[in-house]
A and B are shown apart, each in its own frame.
Chain A
Amino acid sequence: MSLLEIKNLTVKFPSRKGDFTAVNDVSLSVEPGEILGIVGESGAGKSTVGNAIISLLDPPGYVSGGSVWLKGERIDDLDENLKSAIRGKRIGMIFQDPLTSLNPLETVGAQLIETITLHLDIDEKAARARAIDLLNQVGIENSEERVDQFPHQFSGGMRQRVVIALALCSDPEVVIADEPTTALDVSIQAQILGLLRKLCEDRNVGMIMVTHDMGVIAEITDRVAVMYNGKLVEIGKTDKVLYNPTHDYTKSLISAVPRPDKKSHRFPLVTYIEDVKERPEDLKLSDMWLGKTRDYEEFDGPMLQVENLKQDFVVKHAIFKRNHKYFTALKGVSFDIKQGEVFGIVGESGSGKSTIARCVTGIYEPSGGTVSICGTDLNKLEDKSRQNYYRRQTQMVFQDPFSSLNGRMRVENIIAEPIIFHKQATNKTEVKKIVDELLETVGLGSNAAQKFPHEFSGGQRQRISIARALATRPRFLICDEPTSALDVSIQAQVLNLLKDLQEELGLTMMFISHDLPVIRQMCDRVAVMQSGEILEIAETEALFNTPQHSYTQSLLGLMPKFRTVS
């Protein structure tokens, strides 16, 4: 008898077009002390399985078939009171975003004590002692003191520890962790995963780990279930599934994960997904507007020169300027990007990567130092039209494909706007022709022009962003985490597109990412950043093979140890 067993679970979401089957006939089991991974891309139904186990499906979803058994006892058909007696007490749950998982208005202690007294028959004082003890166990120092603090006084990683403590309040037999480390930096991710592994072993808890990240799966799970389109396509020992997959979907999913260990020319695509569309082979950029010789002045020297760049943000305003309190995001950063080079910047959140991009594009005015594009410091340039001339050569692709496109504009107008602003075309038909070509170039096809952004998926939106960035025929493209919001198969497509464009158009590129394998595949040279400083700049291969700085070494060491089948 397994600890937790799911038999033929089917979950449906009614909609106007009929029922949508989110989970289709899935059977799983978890043993005590075991970690079972559920992996898949967005929309695969993996989180829905987790929610269905403790009957917390978002309405209007409902379980239309199958059963859930906890220690041989059926739990999915209990009434609501009995179900909530199981939730928290026997099955704990950990959610993705630690920043929103805690009630902001109550102290951590109050939330812990409420949960403890609810499940265990002890008084407030004993519950408080237990709360402090739990915080200790999940690795929060000074827990006597911190128990009376509010969630906003904890960092993201610490909050996730509090969430784990909350899930462990009453010694549950099963813990369901839904993407518990997705919102965290890689070093904190390693700590949290280690903590979860240890808890499973010490307490003999069975755990279901829902994630999209193959690295996490390889790191801590014993067995893994691969889901695709609501169906379970493969389940087995982690080693076997990852290194010897049998199902086609698993094979292509694994091959699409960027390799951390060696550089390959292109990212393998998830061929199993029907909707993959590469750019048509016969598309010749040299015949198109985009590929024509650009009317920029030639110059010698690096494309971008950043010298001693500083950026302060006022965190607290005072009446007098000298009493302002500042946060220094960049503490004097210097580097060059050569023409035609792909320069990577890697670092954890808050290290100042994006701030550099924003200073270079002129979104922020630097507090100190100089930024020169094509040998010219734009902040010192008086002539507006010359400024525009240089700005036109520098374009940016942003991280979030959902908020970086104006939802009330048609794709055509979104892409045409920079063309018209920078007077790249003389009349409307010419603009239209350029827009169609650009959409063709990024693999969307010209009939996308009349649609609105919400009609596209995340990956397609990111293609629109790229087309918009190309619309001024830039020489220098800045990509700020362009794929971190995308699934791994979509990520491969978008990165391939960027690589192709870079090669064919001879673009210079600044590529910002927190993802080391992606950096390795994309960049010629890499800068490693930590708290506003560049620690190391090196050729990509040299950096990955012989890192000099201790921080770089630890980052590389924390990189999920997952080697793909070659």
Chain B
Amino acid sequence: MLTFIAKRMIQSVLVMIAVGLITFALLRFVGDPISNMVGQDTSTAEREELKEALGLNDPFVIQFANFAKNAVKGEFGLSYTLRVPVSQLLSERIPATLELSILSALLALFIGMPMGIYTAIHKDSWLTKLFLSSSLVGVSLPTFLIGILLILLFGVMFRWLPTFGRGEVVDLGWWSTGLLTWSGIKSLILPTITLAIFQLTLIMRLVRAEMLEVLRTDYIKFGRARGLSMKSIHYRHALKNTLIPVITITGLQLGSIIAFALITESVFQWPGMGLLFIQAIGNADVPIMAAYLVLIAFIFVAINLLVDILYVVLDPRLRTTVGD
């Protein structure tokens, strides 16, 4: 088990180094960092001096080593346009994005799973048909459209909920949260729902498909032949077997919720990383883009590692093959 985790860790580090290389190439070769920093009237000699001082004349390997060292510490240099350290910008934005995406992931999971289980067990009830047909809407409507419709309905027509921003936030050390004020919570509702709807329908359909598959297996039939109660068959024997494939997809989805919250963030002007990233693209602010890339890659790799470990914990068949 420990060697298995160690192996996966090594793989994760390799992936991060690869991502680092790509990001470094982006920083180094997209545009000239010197001309991004200095004015037009700087002389060539001064430029050379600056280049030397910044270590841009060093060999590639040393430059990359320095970049990697700084990246591990979370330093990605100054933003070209805002003239502030990128790390500072990101740490201001991370809480907003994480709060939004984790809340919507939880929402999707805790509503989607029971819906999936219900629709699998009660295959022919009218509620199942309602869930399934309405889930089609969730899958097919693009996120921005759902966001705009929600704004129109609850923000503009009924005027119940705010349509942009985070509302009042409370600072807890380096973390700023919107969950402790009434306006913060109200501001969270619409973006959370918008971000969750697609995931929710996806999880529901996935759980349903897997569960139907499991309910057809021999061990479920054998369980019924032994007289086990329906409750035990559905929730003890079937559900556990259903969860194994569901975990993979849900894990990856959590990654993409965090990474691609940017559409929702721009619809609701949510001050998160996604919004920062979109603005950075507009301004060709390469350090921010690089930092964002590395951070998202890190989140994906970390979630994947977690999913792999969870797999082994859940499935005894994997435990013996990876055990030693």
Cβ 8 A contact of A95, one of B222, B229, B237, B320: B222
Supposing A118-B229, A152-B317 touch, asked if A100 and B224 sit within 8 A by C-beta, the answer is no
> CB distance A102 to B219 under 8 Å?
yes
Is the beta-carbon distance between B225 and A88 smaller than 8 angstroms?
Answer: yes
* CA–CA, A100 and B237, complex, Å: 13
**Alpha-carbon distance between A118 and B314 when the two chains are bound, in angstroms:** 25
The CB with the most chain A CB atoms within 10 A, among B222, B224, B229, B315, is that of B222
27 A-B pairs, CB-CB below 8 angstroms?
A54-B225, A56-B224, A84-B224, A84-B229, A86-B227, A87-B224, A88-B226, A88-B227, A93-B225, A95-B222, A100-B217, A101-B222, A103-B240, A104-B315, A104-B316, A105-B240, A106-B237, A107-B316, A114-B236, A115-B227, A118-B228, A118-B229, A118-B232, A119-B227, A167-B226, A169-B226, A316-B321
Complex interface: chain B residues within 8 A of A316 (CB) = 321
Q: Does A166 lie at the interface of the complex (its beta carbon under 8 Å from any beta carbon of B)? A: yes
Scan residues 182-222 of chain B and give those whose CB is less than 8 A from a CB of chain A: 217-219, 221-222
- A548–B229 alpha-carbon span in the complex (Å): 54
Q: Find residues 48-86 in chain A having any chain B CB closer than 8 Å to their own CB.
A: 54, 56, 84-86
Which residues A374-391 have CB closer than 8 A to chain B? Answer: none
Report B-chain residues with C-beta under 8 Å of the C-beta of A106.
237, 240
Q: Tell whether B256 is near chain A: CB-to-CB under 8 Å.
A: no
Q: Say yes or no: is A212 at the interface (Cβ < 8 Å to chain B).
A: no
B218 touches A100 (CB 8 A): yes
Q: Which residues of A contact B226 (CB under 8 A)?
A: 87-88, 92-93, 115, 118, 166-167, 169
A356 to chain B minimum Cβ distance, whole angstroms, is 27
Contacting A150 at CB < 8 Å: which of B229, B237, B317?
Answer: B317
| Cross-chain contact B222 with A102 (CB below 8 angstroms) | yes
Q: Which of B224, B227, B232, B320 has its CB near the most chain A CB atoms (within 10 A)?
A: B227
Min distance, Cβ A52 to any Cβ of chain B, angstroms: 13
Least distance between A163 CB and chain B CB atoms (Å): 7
A286 in contact (CB, < 8 A): no
Look across to chain A and name the residue whose beta carbon is closest to the beta carbon of B321.
A316
Residue of A nearest to B224 (CB): A56
Number of A-B contacts (CB under 8 A): 80
**B142 CB within 8 Å of chain A:** no
A89 at the interface (CB under 8 A from B): yes
CB-based nearest A residue for B317 = A152
Interface assignment of A153: CB less than 8 Å from any CB of chain B: yes
- Chain A proximity of B160: nearest CB distance (Å): 45
Given contacts A88-B225, A88-B227, A105-B314, 13 further A-B contacts (CB under 8 A): A85-B227, A92-B226, A97-B218, A100-B217, A100-B219, A102-B222, A103-B223, A106-B240, A114-B232, A115-B227, A118-B232, A153-B320, A169-B226
Does B241 belong to the interface (CB within 8 Å)?
Answer: yes
In the assembled complex, which residues on chain B have CB atoms less than 8 Å from the CB atom of A92?
225-226
Q: Which residues of B contact A166 (CB under 8 A)?
A: 222, 226
Residues 80-97 (chain B) with a chain A CB within 8 angstroms: none
Tell me the bound Cα distance from A92 to B227 in angstroms. Answer: 9
B219 touches A101 (CB 8 A): yes
Q: How large is the interface on A (under 10, 10 to 19, 20 to 34, 35 or more residues)?
A: 20 to 34
- List residues 141-169 of chain A with CB under 8 A from any CB of chain B: 150, 152-153, 163, 166-167, 169
Residues from chain B with a CB closer than 8 A to the CB of A163 are: 222
Min C-beta distance of A122 to chain B, whole Å: 16
Known A-B contacts A95-B218, A114-B232, A152-B317; A105 and B225 likewise in contact (beta carbons under 8 Å):
no
> What's the minimum C-beta distance from A207 to chain B, rounded to whole angstroms?
15
Are B219 and A115 touching (Cβ within 8 A)? no
Nearest B residue to A315 by beta-carbon distance?
Answer: B321
Is B223's CB under 8 angstroms from A150's CB? no
The smallest beta-carbon distance between B36 and chain A, in angstroms, is 43
Contact partner of A105 (CB less than 8 A), chosen from B224, B229, B315, is B315
Cα separation A437 to B72 with both chains bound (whole Å) = 72
Contact A104–B227 (Cβ < 8 Å) = no
Total contacting residues, chain B, CB less than 8 A: 23
Complex contact A87–B240 (CB within 8 A): no
Cβ B227 vs Cβ A89 within 8 A: yes
Instruction: Write the B304-320 contact mask toward A (1 if CB under 8 angstroms, else 0).
Output: 00000000001111001
Chain A residues in 8 Å Cβ range of B321 = 316
Please determine whether A105 and B241 come into contact, CB atoms closer than 8 angstroms: yes
Which of B278-296 touch A at CB < 8 Å? none
Chain A positions within 8 Å of B228 at CB level: 84, 88, 114-115, 118
Which residue of the partner chain, among B225, B236, B240, B320, contacts A56 with CB atoms under 8 Å?
Answer: B225
The reply to whether A152 and B316 form a contact with Cβ atoms under 8 Å apart is: yes
Instruction: Determine whether the beta carbon of B227 is less than 8 Å from that of A87.
Output: yes
In the complex, which residues of chain B have a beta carbon less than 8 angstroms from the beta carbon of A97? Answer: 218
A103 x B241 contact (CB < 8 A): yes
Distance A153 CA – B319 CA, assembled complex (angstroms)? 11
List residues of chain B with CB within 8 A of the CB of A89: 227
- Nearest-neighbor residue (CB-CB) of A102 within chain B: B219
Q: Check A103–B227 contact: CB distance below 8 A.
A: no
Q: Report A-chain residues with C-beta under 8 Å of the C-beta of B241.
A: 103-105
- With both beta carbons as reference points, the residue of chain A lying nearest to B225 in the complex is identified as A93
How far, in angstroms, from A86 to B219 measured CA to CA in the complex?
18
Which positions 222-278 of chain B face chain A at CB distance < 8 Å? Answer: 222-229, 232, 236-237, 240-241
**Chain B residues in 8 Å Cβ range of A85:** 227
Smallest Cβ-Cβ distance to A149: which chain B residue: B316
Contact with B along A166-199 (1 / 0, CB 8 A): 1101000000000000000000000000000000
Interface string of A343-361 (1 = CB under 8 A from B): 0000000000000000000
Contact A152 B320, beta carbon cutoff 8 Å: yes
Please give, as numbers and ranges, the residues of chain A lying within 8 Å of B236 by CB-CB distance: 114
Supposing A150-B317, A152-B317 touch, asked if A103 and B225 sit within 8 A by C-beta, the answer is no
Q: Chain B contacts of A93 at CB under 8 A?
A: 222, 225-226
Is there contact, CB below 8 Å, between B218 and A104? no
User: Distance in Å from the Cβ of B3 to the closest Cβ of chain A?
Assistant: 11
Min Cβ gap A552→B in Å is: 34
Contacts of A104 in B (CB 8 A): 219, 241, 315-317
- Does B221 lie within 8 Å of A105, measured CB to CB? no
Chain B minimum-CB-distance residue to A119: B227
**Which of chain A's residues have a CB closer than 8 A to the CB of B224?**
56, 84, 87
Q: Closest 7 CB pairs between A and B?
A: A88-B227, A88-B226, A93-B225, A87-B227, A100-B218, A150-B316, A103-B219
CA gap between A86 and B237 in the complex, in Å = 20
Say yes or no: B218 contacts A84, CB within 8 Å.
no
Q: Is the CB of B317 within 8 A of A95?
A: no
Could you tell me the distance between the alpha carbons of A120 and B278 in the complex, rounded to whole angstroms?
Answer: 65
Cα distance A97–B221 in the bound complex, in angstroms: 12
Closest to B244 in A: A105
How far in angstroms is the closest Cβ of chain B from A378? 35
Q: How far is the CA of A54 from the CA of B227 in the complex (A)?
A: 10
Measured CA separation A115–B321 after assembly (Å): 29
Residues A101 and B229 in contact, CB atoms below 8 Å apart: no
Determine the distance from Cα of A97 to Cα of B217 in the docked complex, in whole angstroms.
11
Residue ID in chain B nearest A170 by CB atoms: B227
- In whole angstroms, what is the CA distance A54 to B228 when docked? 13
Which of the residues B217, B222, B227, B237 comes within 8 Å of A84, measured between beta carbons? B227
Nearest Cβ in chain B — how far from A89, in angstroms? 6
A84 to B237 Cα, complex, angstroms: 17
Interface residues of A in 280-304 (CB under 8 A from B): none
> Which B residues are CB-close (under 8 A) to A153?
320
Q: Which residues of B sit under 8 angstroms from A54, Cβ to Cβ?
A: 225
Residues of A within 8 A of B217 (CB): 100
A463-483 contacts to B (CB < 8 Å): none
Give the residue name and chain of the B residue nearest to A50 (CB): B225
Alpha-carbon gap, A56 to B228, bound state (A): 13
Chain B hits for A84, CB < 8 A: 224, 227-229
Which residues of the partner chain A approach B225 to less than 8 Å between Cβ atoms? 54, 56, 87-88, 92-93, 95, 167
Chain A residues with CB under 8 Å of B222's CB are: 93, 95, 101-102, 163, 166
B240 neighbours in A (Cβ, 8 Å): 103, 105-106
Cα of A556 to Cα of B203 in the assembled complex, Å: 55
Which residues from B are CB-within-8-Å of A95? 218, 221-222, 225
Measured CB to CB, the closest approach of chain A to B238, in angstroms, equals: 9
